[in-house]
Structure 1
Amino acid sequence: MTHVLAGELAARGHDVTLFAGPGTDVDLPVRLLVPAGFEPSAAALADRNAPSAGWVAEHHAYLGLMLDLARTGAAEYDVVHNNSLHHLPVAMASAVGVPMLTTLHTPPLPLVESAISLDPLGSTFAAVSAFTAEAWAHAVPAGVVHNGIDLTRWYAGDGGGPAVWSGRLVPEKAPHAAMDACRRAGVPLVLVGPAHDRDYFRTELEPRLGDGIEYAGHLNHAELGQLLRRASVAVVTPAWDEPYGLVASEAMACGTPVAGYVRGALPEVVGALGGVLAPADDVDALAAAVLAAARLDRRAVRAHAEATCSLTRMVDDYERCYHELLELDDEAA
């Protein structure tokens, strides 16, 4: 999301600086800020309460960024858009000297809640769905800017092929439920994604493979798009309350209807036109949803994606947020 947002803002003529980790796509038309490295001493790590090296590196990166912004932010930037999940940008927002917009991509996080409680007006907040905004409502009010995808990259296809499940192969995504539902529906299924949890893959997924269900591995965007354009239906089975559900948007952009669970923001993303949803964890109802979704008009599904999931719409919304922040900042001055 941050990648396509930065690219589109630059294409619209904005001067964009991106703060991101090593390995980030340097072909983006933006200025890249790479975090300063830091390794604590052996003496510091010998402390029995020392955090992990990864935690320290992330903390150092964000602390360095925010101190730099506090020193030079007002001279170099008009707006800071925080898409991180870290607490320091929120905690230090008031020190930056320019307005900050923080997008809430997750359910509430303890350290971010702590930062908000100490300076609730330091940042303005947007959430990726109304569901996520409601989840944070006890801590901070947030507007809603739904995520968007590049519809020229995810384009419509004719369908007619097997069902597809895409995402990380982990218990909270519950691909095993998609396997069970498609087997009951008599619909072949292709699983796509990285197998991060090897124990889960070995015990829950491998025994379910075969008889029309296959694992295609971890595909790149172009390969996944090709598969989705051929798919008859995309099955989305979160076992937790997803804050948005990008895989549903990608499928609908390909004209492929979604069969999934009524959970988290998925009803908001799919709506009445993008697919058929079943009660959470009801595999029999999901099997029926797979068959019903496959009968939907693919042109109407694509049109729904164009109206609700486009990158253009997302960046339009964020530009409005930036202008509102600048107007408020001018009034305060």
Structure 2
Amino acid sequence: MSGSARRGLRIAVVASNRHPIAQPFAGGLESHVWQLTRALHDDGHRVTLFAAEGSDAALSAESIPVQTIRVSEAAAGDVSMPPEAFLADHHAYLELMMELVADDGRRFDVIHNHSLHYLPIAMAPSLTVPMLTTLHTPPTPWLESAVAVTGGAGSQFVAVSRYTADSWCHVLPSVDVVSNGIDLTAWPPGPGGSDLIWSGRIVPEKGTHLAIEAARMAGRRLHVVGPIGDAHYFRAAVGPRLGSQVRYHGHLSSRSLAALLGSCAAALVTPVWDEPYGLVVAEALACGTPVLAFARGGIPEIIDSSCGRLVAPGDTEAMADAVGEATCLPREQVRRRAVRVCGHRRTTDAYVRRYLALARSARVRGAKPA
């Protein structure tokens, strides 16, 4: 065992400058980083986290503060002044990367980049500490530009699903997969019931309105859970349909959501875009709740016939027709599928193996990553 493995690795985890890593989570990325940071700390590694203020102090991670900028009146009045949110993101990640470049291996053995910002990838060739980047989404213009300019130099890449890895193959031809994992003990199996549930951010691309439609056709009550990410969409497509058959519970903590998931007959997953992974699928399966989902993105990599049913994207009638079949699946069988493919232990171990390989390789090359 290497010295780094014996003493624990020093890991800088780069997340979002806008969202704290704390419950209730802003999204699946924040949930994943929270789980990984906690697991790494529990395994004896020293984690330093870059994320928005208000991240969970119980993670026992050090922090790299998000730096803000107040531009002068002259700069703010210039015709090239970008939107404030864009400038805030740019400044936060520029400050962070300059700090990591200057570190020169004194504080960290490895950097794990989970951000969706282009600067960590664009500046990776300047680092003297190896970096691993997790691709949480299909290509976006800014991320693809950074990869195209650098050729991926300075960072290794993994993706959260085979679908996501394949979507990057035109600029990153060989990307391994480390699928996300959840703490199965935090999502215990429940007794089930007769109602259906939908959970996630309430935005058009998640298709909350389609779950409402499918539940109505199936003649089942639907529970809706999650933060309102698009107020206009909620007012137009979700709010008017609330009532005795469609209940909105707000943005719940993981514990409350797990209890509700475990009390339902099935979970509906209705994206109108290609989900990179499908964290809500893993959470439902862990609770023993079968999943009915549109076959999009990385979701088919999680669901098989033992734990749910896949239907064609957008086909709410087929989803409603499959409710009876899915709800007959044994809940212990559904839970077993989650244990096999969704546990965080497998995810954390896979990442640590990559950290160690990167750290060893950097030492051999004089601490200069490829």
Aligned twin of 2:71: 40
What is the CA-CA distance between 1:211 and the residue it aligns to?
5.2
What is the CA-CA distance between 1:3 and the residue it aligns to?
1.2
Pair 1:8 & 2:39 matched: yes
Take 1:193 and 1:268, find their aligned partners in 2: how far apart are those partners?
24
2:277 to 244, 249, 258: 244
Q: Matches of residues 175-254 of structure 1 in structure 2 within 5 Å?
A: 175-210=208-243, 212-254=245-287
What is the CA-CA distance between 1:62 and the residue it aligns to?
0.9
Take 2:125 and 2:238, find their aligned partners in 1: how far apart are those partners?
48
Q: Which letter does structure 2 place at the counterpart of 1:311?
A: H
Take 1:257 and 1:251, find their aligned partners in 2: how far apart are those partners?
7
What is the CA-CA distance between 1:111 and the residue it aligns to?
1.6
Take 1:88 and 1:76, find their aligned partners in 2: how far apart are those partners?
20
Pair 1:265 & 2:298 matched: yes
Deviations 1:71-121 (A, max 9, x none): 114111111000001111111112220110000001101121121122222
SS in structure 2 at match of 1:76: coil
Pair 1:307 & 2:348 matched: no
Pair 1:123 & 2:155 matched: yes
Take 2:82 and 2:275, find their aligned partners in 1: how far apart are those partners?
29
Q: Matches of residues 285-324 of structure 1 in structure 2 within 5 Å?
A: 285-324=318-357
Take 1:197 and 1:20, find their aligned partners in 2: how far apart are those partners?
23
CA contact (8 A) 2:194 2:220 kept: no
SS in structure 1 at match of 2:109: coil
TM-score (norm. length: structure 1)? 0.96
Take 1:96 and 1:271, find their aligned partners in 2: how far apart are those partners?
42
TM-score (norm. length: structure 2)? 0.87
Structure 1: runs of 5 or more not aligned: none
Take 1:270 and 1:285, find their aligned partners in 2: how far apart are those partners?
16
1:55 to 78, 86, 93: 86
Structure 2: runs of 5 or more not aligned: 1-31
Take 1:96 and 1:198, find their aligned partners in 2: how far apart are those partners?
41
> Structure 1 residues 310-319 or 199-208, which shifts more?
199-208
2:186 to 153, 156, 178: 153
Take 2:228 and 2:273, find their aligned partners in 1: how far apart are those partners?
18
Q: Which letter does structure 1 place at the counterpart of 2:96?
A: L
Pair 1:134 & 2:166 matched: yes
> Structure 1 residues 82-91 or 270-279, which shifts more?
270-279
Pair 1:29 & 2:60 matched: yes
Take 2:95 and 2:125, find their aligned partners in 1: how far apart are those partners?
16
> Pairwise CA RMSD of aligned residues?
1.4
Take 2:179 and 2:306, find their aligned partners in 1: how far apart are those partners?
17
Pair 1:108 & 2:139 matched: yes
Q: Identity percentage over the alignment?
A: 46
Aligned twin of 1:19: 50
Aligned twin of 2:6: none
Deviations 1:114-167 (A, max 9, x none): 211222221100100000000011111311000011111111111024110011
Take 1:123 and 1:92, find their aligned partners in 2: how far apart are those partners?
10
Take 1:127 and 1:255, find their aligned partners in 2: how far apart are those partners?
26
Take 1:36 and 1:71, find their aligned partners in 2: how far apart are those partners?
16
